[in-house]
Structure 1
Amino acid sequence: MTDVPAPSLAIGIGSSPAERRQLAQLLGGTEAFLIVSSAEQARKFLDAAAAGPAAMVAPPVETVIDATVSDDDRPPATLRIDSDRRVLHWLDREIELTPLEHDVLLCLVGAPGQVWTYERLHVEVWGNQHLGRGSHMHSVVRRVRRKLARLDATATIQAVRGVGFRLAAA
């Protein structure tokens, strides 16, 4: 019986989208690579890989938006994005997202309170630096705001005039 060498896997950790893009370029010649945003995500992946294929389902991205949904002792309300189904969850409700809505909201949810410039958001979501008048970006944000309102979420997307957008607790 001959030993078959296990395939090698390079894991890169980049906390920002720009770092992850740079890692993808650096690791592009590697047979297999995984890029994550934290050491914790890498550990979860490795634990799931050790557990077998059934455990290899990626968890939805989530972030805590408001720690005081009510006056009682309930846990904090969480705004979650299920990227596999392209669904936004708030408390016990959910709403479907278009691909553009998903990508814009994923950027904003990943860094609540942080301002995403129009340029940076355009590169991340549309994949290029063309801004034009930016009406397409404002249209997507307007649709996401309506969906957040339909869910009665306490989060909102704020416009920072002349700069960009940020996700904030209402």
Structure 2
Amino acid sequence: MRGIPVASMVIGIASAPAARRQLAQLLGGTEAFLIVSSVDQAREFLGGAETPTTEADVRPVEAVPVDGAPGAAAAAPAPAPALTVDSDRRVARWLDREIELTRLEHDLLLCLMGAPGRVWTYERLHLKVWGNKHLGRGSDMHSVVRRIRRKLATLDASATIDSVRGVGFRLASA
């Protein structure tokens, strides 16, 4: 099929937070996706491009990995040291340093590490870590994420936990 770029990205548009969460769940297995709240935001991301009217106006768009930044150069990264979790001892390890984790910190970090760059919705994380449905404002989850972020900073790890507003969290490597 001529004209279809090899690398592709799905752009989802949903104005309501609940619809964005649902899109994130549906697109969770997609290699690269972007969720925006309006067509204007999508156009801005694509460089202010007008809607193509003919095949000649269609420009291939380079895919942006979920954990990458829009517009970042796609250079081959040098192998980075990996953040690891020792589940037997319940510790996170970065280079030659390690830090203890609580059960909730351990389980949440393992979820995020299982698919780096992938957005985990609040609902999915709550079900996987707490074993029940996500209800309310999610202050329990935000508290655990805040503690993990502090511990990662203590380790000087380049891995970070990014918030995806209204959707959930993802593990990103710097």
Equivalenced residues, count? 98
Counterpart contact for 2:122–2:134, Cα < 8 Å: no
Q: TM-score, normalised by structure 1?
A: 0.56
Moved over 2 A (4+): none
User: Of residues 130, 133, 145 in structure 2, which corresponds to 1:129?
Assistant: 133
What SS is found at the alignment partner of 2:93?
A: strand
Unaligned runs of 5+ in 2: 1-76
User: Of residues 102, 107, 111 in structure 1, which corresponds to 2:111?
Assistant: 107
In the TM superposition, what is the alpha-carbon distance from 1:131 to its structure 2 partner?
A: 2.1
User: Of residues 97, 100, 103 in structure 2, which corresponds to 1:96?
Assistant: 100
Structure 1: distance between partners of 2:115 and 2:134: 23
Alignment pair present for 1:159 and 2:170: no
Structure 2: distance between partners of 1:111 and 1:89: 18
Q: Which residue of 1 aligns with 2:144?
A: 140
Which structure features the higher share of strand residues? Answer: 1
Q: Percent identity?
A: 77
Structure 2: distance between partners of 1:130 and 1:115: 16
Unaligned runs of 5+ in 1: 1-66, 69-74
* Cα RMSD after superposing both structures: 1.1
What SS is found at the alignment partner of 2:157?
A: coil
Structure 1: distance between partners of 2:173 and 2:80: 12
Counterpart contact for 2:149–2:160, Cα < 8 Å: yes
1:1-170 alignment runs, 5 A limit: 68=78, 76-170=80-174
Structure 1: distance between partners of 2:122 and 2:134: 10
Q: TM-score, normalised by structure 2?
A: 0.55
2:86 partner letter: D
CA shift digits 1:91-137 (9 cap, x unpaired): 00000000000000000011000000000000000001032110000
